[in-house]
Amino acid sequence: MTKAAPGEIDAIGLLCPLPVLKLQKALRALKPGQQVTLLATDPASRIDVPHFCAQSGHRVIETSQDNETLIYLVECGQPSKG
C-alpha cells in the first residue's frame, strides 16, 4: 500500500466522489498559489478532477500516471465567492 508524502492526498482505492472530496478539503486549507498532489486510482478521476478544478477556480498543473495510480498536481485558486 502506498503512503502519501507530505503535501500529497492519498485517494488510492477510493471511488467517486471521494477523491474529489478529499482534494476539496485539502484545497480549503491552502492559500492561493499553493500546490497539492492527489494520488488516485479511480478512472473517473480523469474527468472529475479537471472538472472540479475548473468549476472551483483551481488549476490542474500536471497529470501523470505511475502504473495504475493517477497523479494530479493541483494549484489552489482564489476562494469562490458566495
Catalytic center residues: 16
In angstroms, rounded to a whole number, what is the distance separating the alpha carbons of residues 35 and 59?
A: 9
Radius of gyration of the chain (CA): 12
Own/partner pairs, 58-61, CB within 8 angstroms, 24+ separation: 58/27, 61/35
Q: Give the span between the Cα atoms of 35 and 14, in whole angstroms.
A: 21
The residue behind cell 507530505 is 6
